[in-house]
Amino acid sequence: MRGKIKTRPTKKSAARCGTKPASRERPLLSPILAGDLAVVLNVLAIDARLRLLHDWVRADELCSTELAGSVGMKQQAGSNQFQRLSDRHILASRREGISICDRLVDHCIRSLLDQEPCLMEKVHDRSPDRVRTNFV
């Protein structure tokens, strides 16, 4: 059954992500850490997975049959995407009768998706036909 739709992360979920120093205050990423981050970003760099993750953010928990249908995927295709996200510990599952229900457990992913309007605004501002001449 579809969970309650939330439009903003709760204080509880934001606290789980933790407060970390800003990037400019941390040491340069090590090659190993940069590689690990690249793996996570590659997992997220699939549009179908981003749509699925956004649906999880909106509903908190969904069963695989509900979720695949909500984004127009066949159940097998959805299962393949669920597996990739589960392998990275982005999702957790529980059985409900004969159904498997998944929920988003990586709250940093929720925060990233909350930034989508800002990220897309910046992308549209950087259209290829605009020439930038004010580099410092």
Token pair in block for residue 99? 């159904």
Q: Which domain holds residue 88?
A: 48-126
pLDDT at position 14 is 45
- The reply to whether 15 falls in a domain is no
Q: The CATH number of the domain where 74 resides is what?
A: 1.10.10.10
pTM of the model: 0.69
- The reply to whether 72 falls in a domain is yes
Rounded Cα distance between 85 and 7, Å, is 22
Closest CA to 107 of 37, 29, 10: 10
For the residues 11-38, what does the mean pLDDT come to? 79
Identity (one letter) of the amino acid at 14?
Answer: A
Q: What's the pLDDT tens digit per position in 82-132?
A: 888 888 899 998 888 888 888 899 888 998 999 888 888 877 776 666 555
Count of domains forming the chain: 1
pLDDT at position 130 is 55
Q: What's the pLDDT tens digit per position in 29-56?
A: 999 999 999 999 999 999 888 988 898 8
DSSP state of 124: H
Q: What are the residues whose beta carbons fall under 8 Å from the beta carbon of 39, sequence distance 6 or more?
A: 88
CB 94 within 8 A of CB 101: yes
